[in-house]
Amino acid sequence: MSVQIDAVILAGGMARRMGGIDKGLVELSGKPMIAHTIDRVKPQVDSIMINANRSQAEYAAFGYPVISDLESGYLGPLAGMVTAMGQTQADLLLVVPCDSPMLPTDLCERMYASLKEADADIVVASDGEHHQPVVLLLKPHLKASMQAFLDAGDRKIFLWYEQHKYVVTSFADQPNAFVNVNTLEQKLVIENAK
């Protein structure tokens, strides 16, 4: 791909379903969950940022810039995305969560193909049945639109997508690619599946 693509790994949430533990740092098969995500994403992009609102020193130890939400109060994934959009000079930004350790190794390639084919601004991944609202490829020039959406008090990602030209890329051939770990029980299931 001749375009520059940066990635942001979203690790800025409160992880309420995980008992408030910082999800990206939870060990999965012997290493922090975010390390699995980095391993999947790194070969696909030019650079990586980590969006985190706590444990910044721990995340910085992975060797990538750590950015915190510009907005305080844990406003959700859009706050992390809009912050990352302001930090990149790339043509496109890949957004992934820190708790999806089995992301497709061809995620960027296929989403970029969809973006080009449809001449879209945003591509959202799907597992064939459900959209994955925080796995997307987007054009950073949409930052002002996303900021205005947040400033209006909106938080629902799909309401924002629908204001723009977006397409969906299906990864139905990889049904477990977007399994995310929200609870300690799910962590055990994934560890036993690996």
Of residues 116, 60, 126, 61, the one with CA closest to residue 91: 116
Work out the average pLDDT over 66-74. 78
Smallest Cα–Cα separation from 82: which of 135, 147, 137?
147
- Name which of 88, 27, 32, 86 is nearest 62 in CA terms: 32
Rounded to whole angstroms, how far apart are CA atoms 63 and 176?
A: 28
Report, in this order, helix, strand and coil percent for the chain, each rounded to 5.
Answer: 35, 20, 40
Answer with the residue of higher pLDDT: 188 or 33. Answer: 33
**Mean of pLDDT values over 20-26:** 78
Query: pLDDT at position 73, please?
Result: 60
- Per-residue confidence (pLDDT) for residue 120, from 0 to 100: 98
Residue 20 has pLDDT above 80, yes or no: no
The pLDDT mean for the chain works out to 88
> At how many degrees (to 10) do helices 143-151 and 77-85 cross?
140
DSSP single-letter state for residue 163: T
Q: What is the pLDDT of residue 104?
A: 97
Percent of the chain whose pLDDT exceeds 90: 68
Rounded distance between C-alpha atoms, residue 194 and residue 189, angstroms: 9
pLDDT exceeds cutoff 80 at 86: yes
Work out the average pLDDT over 86-103.
Answer: 95
